Structure formats: structure tokens, C-alpha cells
Amino acid sequence: MKYVLDSSVAFKWVVPEALSDKAIQLRDQFRQGIYEFLAPDVFPVEIGHALTRAERQGRVSPVDGFVLWTAIMAECPKLFPSVSLMPRAYAISSQSRTGVYDCLYLALAERENCELITADQRLVSIVQPRFSRIVSLASVP
């Protein structure tokens, strides 16, 4: 089974926080070949952004930050060019009044006919009424 994997889930693989246990369980199932993960090609940049923000917050040391980024990239989802996703991502962004980066993941899930798993509860609450393909990490069994 394939899923679009939001960077917020992969971040939890390496930085302990709420729902990290569920994120790690998904990663382990990915390693076993149970799931295939997809993401737009902004995924590595978003992971880098999240890790450097965690550094500034004192949650990750600057030395560890890049090591953690490398660990996630070693198990990176299959990446898809964001340029081809932009027309639909832009439309979803305009419609839902949410960030276009998030909407790249939604557009990919729609195009690939699969669900997007995210730890971003705010995003879920904003788009789920109009976009049923989004699944909160909290609701993953």
C-alpha cells in the first residue's frame, strides 16, 4: 500500500515528540515493505527546515541536526517533481487558504490515488472537509 508521507511524520522518526511512536511504527512497516512512501521533492528541504528550527529551539544540537537529516534521507520517500504538482497544489491552496507547500503533498496524494499521512493536525482540520485523502497520524492504528 502506498502513502504520501508528510515531512512532519518523518521528523518524528528522529526527534522524540508526541506521536513519535506511531511515526516510528510506520517507518518500521515501510522498512518491511508493507508500505511505499511518496513525497514531493520539497520533502528534503522541509526536513532540513524542521531540523534547523529544532536546533534553534535547543531540541537538537547543531552537530546532530545534519546527522538526523542524513538518517531521514537514507529512508527518503520516492520523490516527485513539485513543478508538475503546482497547478493542482495552487488550486487547493487558494481554495483551502493554506500553504502551497502543504498542498503539494495533497496534490500528489490526489494524483497517485492514495492517502496523505500527516502529523499536522491544523492542516487536517482545515482541508479534511473538502479533501478526504488526508489522514492524521494520530488516527493511524
The answer to whether residue 10 scores a pLDDT higher than 90 is yes
Distances (CA, A) of 1 to 34, 53, 101, 112: 7, 32, 24, 11
Give the confidence band of 129 by pLDDT, cuts at 50, 70, 90.
confident
Indicate the pTM of the whole model.
Answer: 0.94
Q: Residues 20-72: pLDDT tens digits?
A: 999 999 999 999 999 999 999 999 999 999 999 999 999 999 899 999 999 99
pLDDT score at 121: 94
Residue entry with cell 517507518: 27
- Domains of the chain are 2-139 (3.40.50.1010)
Identity of residue 82: S
Q: Residues 71-102: pLDDT tens digits?
A: 999 999 999 999 999 999 999 999 999 999 99
Contact 9, 17 (CB under 8 A): no
